[in-house]
A and B are shown apart, each in its own frame.
Chain A
Amino acid sequence: MSAETRVTPASAGSRWIPAFAGMTASGRGAWHRLALWSVLLLFAFFFLTPMYVMLTSSLKDMAQIREGNLLSLPASPGFDAWAKAWSSACTGIDCGGLKPFFLNSVMMVVPAVLVSTALGAVNGYVLSKWRFKGSELMFALMLFGMFMPLQVVLLPMSQVLGWFGIASSIWGLVLVHILAGLPSTTLFFRNYYVGLPDELIKAAMLDGAGFWRIFWRIVLPLSGPILVVTLIWQFTNIWNDFLFGVVFSGGDSKPVTVGLNNLANTSSAVKEYNVDMAAAMIAALPTLFIYIIAGNYFVRGLTAGAVKG
C-alpha cells in the first residue's frame, strides 16, 4: 500500500509566486508587474495616510501641531499625549482619561463575544444538522434580524432591560450585543456546517454519540476557521459599536467609543489634537491587534467554504 500524502492547501496557495516571478523575463510581464504594483501602492498610500496623520500627530507636542503642517514627522516624538489620553484627559467633568471606558469595553466585549459566538455555533449546528419542522422558517426569521435597522429596537430594548433590572449597566450592554449578534453568528456557523457532510453526523450517531458529544468531539474541532472569523467579526462589531453604547449605558458603564466621543467633544481652552489622536488610536488598537494576529485565519476562513473539495 503506497504511503502517498496529499498536497496541503498552504503549499498549494504559494504556487503562483514562482510563476509570477518568471514573468519578468518578458517585457510585457514587467509592464504588467509595474502597473500592478503601482495600483497596489496607490491604494495602500490612500488608506494608510489617515493612519499616518493620526500616529504622527499623537506623537507630536502642541507647539509643533500649531505650526499646522499635518504631514510633518514629529520633531521630538513622545508619548505624553498618549499618557494624557489614557489617564488624565477630561471627558465632561471627569478627568480620568479613557482608561475607565476602555476597561468597560473590555468587560463588555469579552463575555458578549464569547456567548454570542457559542450560541451561534450551537444554533448553526441545529439549523444545519438537526433540522426540524419549521427550522428553515426559523432561520429565515433570524436572517431578518440581520437586516433590521437597530434603531427600531432601541425603545423596546430599554424597556426590557429595565424589567430585567440591568438597564444602564455593563450586563445590559452585554445582553444587547449578544442578542444583536446572534443572527450573524448563527448565519456564519450554519452556512459553514452545511458544508460538513451529513454522513459524519450519521456515522457518529451509529458510533453511539449523542447531540452534544457529536458537537464537542466532531463538529467543534472542525470549526477552527469559522470560529476565528466569527470571533473577529463579533469583536470588531461590538468594540466599535457606538449606538447601543450611548443609548443603554449609564454613567459608569460607558464603552470606549462613547468615551472617545466625549473626550473629543469636551471643550477646553485649547483643542488638543495630539491627545484626541492618541485617544482615537487607543480606542482603535484592540481591533487592529486582533485583526493582525488572526487576519490570516480570517481570509482563510472566509474562503474555506468556497474551495472545500
Chain B
Amino acid sequence: MGALSIRNVRKSFGATDILKGIDVEVEAGEFLILVGPSGCGKSTLLSMIAGLDTPSTGSIHIADRDVTYALPKDRDIAMVFQSYALYPNMNVAKNISFGLEMRNVPKVEREAAVQRVAKMLQIEHLLDRKPGQLSGGQRQRVAMGRALARNPKLFLFDEPLSNLDAKLRVEMRAEIKLLHQRTKTTTVYVTHDQVEAMTLGDRIAVMREGVVQQLGTPDDIYSRPATRFVAEFIGSPAMNMVGSRRAANGLVAKGVDLALTDEQRLALQTAAAPEITYGLRPESLAFADDGLPGSVSMLEPTGPETYAMVDTPLGNLVARVPGKVSHAVGERVFLRWAATDAHLFDGQNEKRVA
C-alpha cells in the first residue's frame, strides 16, 4: 500500500513547464529524497504534496486517498520549512501546540504532546522562550517539534538544514535520521545537497528541469547512475568525464585506448551513439608505476584523503587517494583504474550505456 503516490504530475506557468510528468510511489515508512539543482522543480513538487500549490494535470494520493485538490489542513501532513517559519509572537510551547489547537485537541492532550515532543528533542528548557531568543539549531529543533506534535501521516522537509553552519548541519542531519528510525513516519525531504541526499534517503529521486532523471536507492544512484547528469551531480569531487570515439576494438580518447570489460564492449555494440562519454569516479583512480602518464597539477589534502588533480593526455583528472600523497606538484606520475569502475554514457542523449 502506497503512503504517497504522485501520478503523472505536470505543472506549467504559461509556456514554461516546471514539472514534466512526475511519477513517484513512496512506501509507508520510507524516507524519500528529492534532490537537484535550483530550478529543477523539487520545491514545487513538495508544495503540491503539501497542498500549497496544485498540479496542472496529474494527481497526488496520500494513503490511497486522492488529495490533489484537498486543502493543506485536510491532508494530515506536517512540514519543516527552510526558514523554520516559527510564529515569532508565540513561545516555543505555543508554537508546538498551535496545530493541535487548530484541530480542537483538548488542552490536557496538547500539553502532553508538547512535553512528549520537547523531551524527544531535548528542548524542555526552551518551552517559555520566543523564537527570537533561540539559536539556529534550537529553532530547527522547535520546527521539527511542531511537525512531530501531531503524529502526521507524512513529513515534509524543505531544505531544513541549509540555514545552519557546517558543524550543526552534520549534527542535525544525524538527528533527523535517528528520529526517522524511531518514528518511522513516511518522509519526503527536499535538498540540493548531495551529501544529505546520500546519507538520509532510503530512496533518492534526482531531478533536473522538471524530470526525474533517476529514482533509486543511494547505492543505485551512486554506483549505477542512469544519466551523465546524475553521475556528475552525486559524488564529490565530481566524476571525471572523458569524451571518446569508437575505434576498431573499443573506445579511443585523444589517441589513448580506454580500458573496457567484455560486458561494456557488448553493450557498446548494441548502442548506436558514435560518441561515448567515459566516466571515472575520483576514487577509482590510483597512482601506479605504469598506466596513464601525467603530471600532478594540484593537491588538495582533506586529512583522511587527498584530492590530486593530474594533467593527462585525457585532460585534467581528479584522483581521490587515501591518506597523504608522496608526489609533489609538477611530478610525473601514472594513473591506473579498473575497467569495471568505468561508467559509459551515450554522448548525445547522455543516458547510461554500461
Binding site for B on A (CB under 8 A): 1-6, 197, 199-200, 202-210, 213, 217-218, 221-222
Contact = CB atoms under 8 A, between A and B. Distances in A.
A1 B137 contact: yes
Contact of B88 (A2, A3, A206, A222): A222
Contacts of B52: 202, 205-206
Contacts of A222: 88-89
Nearest to B87: A218
A157 B99 CA distance: 47
Contacts, number: 68
Given A5-B133, A209-B73, A221-B89, 10 more contacts: A4-B135, A202-B79, A205-B73, A206-B72, A208-B73, A208-B99, A208-B103, A210-B73, A213-B102, A218-B87
Nearest to B75: A206
A1 B122 contact: yes
Nearest to B132: A6
Q: Size band of the B side of the interface?
A: 20 to 34
A92 B71 CA distance: 64
A206 B77 contact: yes
B50 A2 contact: no
26 contacts: A1-B123, A1-B135, A1-B138, A6-B132, A199-B85, A202-B72, A202-B79, A202-B85, A203-B85, A203-B86, A203-B146, A204-B87, A205-B71, A205-B72, A205-B73, A206-B73, A206-B79, A206-B99, A207-B98, A207-B102, A208-B73, A209-B102, A210-B73, A217-B87, A217-B98, A221-B89
A200 B102 CA distance: 15
A221 B131 CA distance: 14
Nearest to A8: B132
B102 A208 contact: yes
B261 to A, nearest CB: 50
A218 B89 contact: yes
Contacts of B82: 199
Interface in B82-107: 82-83, 85-89, 98-99, 102-103
Contacts of A213: 102
Contacts of B287: none
A73 to B, nearest CB: 51
Contacts of A221: 89
B19 to A, nearest CB: 19
The winner among B50, B71, B72, B125 for most chain A CB atoms within 10 A is B72
A85 B86 CA distance: 55
Contacts of B85: 197, 199-200, 202-203
B329 to A, nearest CB: 42
Interface string B124-160: 0100000011010110000000100000000000000
B13 to A, nearest CB: 13
A197 B73 contact: no
Contacts of B337: none
The winner among A6, A206, A218 for most chain B CB atoms within 10 A is A206
A202 B73 CA distance: 10
B52 to A, nearest CB: 5
Given A6-B132, A218-B89, A203 B73 contact: no
Contact of A197 (B50, B83, B89): B83
Nearest to B98: A207
Contact of B79 (A5, A200, A203, A210): A203
B79 to A, nearest CB: 5
Contacts of A4: 135
A222 B85 CA distance: 13
